[in-house]
Amino acid sequence: MTYSKTELVNYRILRAKEAYKDGLLLANENRWNAAANRLYYACFYIVSAYLVANGIKATTHTGLKSAFNQELIKSGKIDLSEGLLYNKLFSIRQQIDYEDFIDMTQSELQPLLPKIDQLINDIEKLIMEEGESL
């Protein structure tokens, strides 16, 4: 089945919001590693939605991170602090997925929750503002 660019972008925005909510549920259960994973993916999906909306291909997590930094941070479309947040989540996910004895804590992750929500909202707003091309 073939999907339009608009359908794909909207689907990835929805996935971002669902992953964020999943992260909150896991955080409420003190499942910090699993929460960190879902929160990273929330950001991954929203960045992916932005890239699709703008016709930019990224086929790996590292490629998506590079495109994010180039298209959104270096261009000044979003604040540098949000870029640092995404890069931090990328690093956390790498650690919890591929290293042993890594345990996230509430004090490490809890302060990031509203910032992640803001990042998702800011990128969604950009997609909508630039959406005339969809």
pLDDT of residue 85: 96
Q: For residue range 36-79, what is the model confidence (pLDDT) as tens digits?
A: 999 999 999 999 999 999 999 998 999 999 999 999 999 999 99
Question: 99: which 2 tokens?
Answer: 């290293």
Q: For 11-28, what is the mean pLDDT?
A: 98
**Backbone conformation region of residue 2, classed left if phi is above 0, alpha if psi is from -120 to 50, else beta:** beta
**Residue that is written with structure tokens 């499942």 in the block:** 31
pLDDT of residue 2: 84
Contacts of 16 (CB under 8 A, 6+ apart): 42, 43, 44, 45, 46, 49, 120, 124
How far is the C-alpha of 32 from the C-alpha of 38, rounded, in Å? Answer: 10
Q: For residue range 93-132, what is the model confidence (pLDDT) as tens digits?
A: 999 999 999 999 999 999 999 999 999 999 999 999 987 5
How far is the C-alpha of 87 from the C-alpha of 17, rounded, in Å? Answer: 19
The DSSP code for 131 is: G
The structural domains of the chain, with segments of one domain joined by +, span 5-133
Which CATH superfamily does the domain covering 5-133 fall into?
A: Nucleotidyltransferases  domain 2 (1.20.120.330)
**Residue that is written with structure tokens 């999943």 in the block:** 22
What's the whole-model pTM score? 0.93
Confidence of residue 134 (pLDDT cuts 50, 70, 90): low
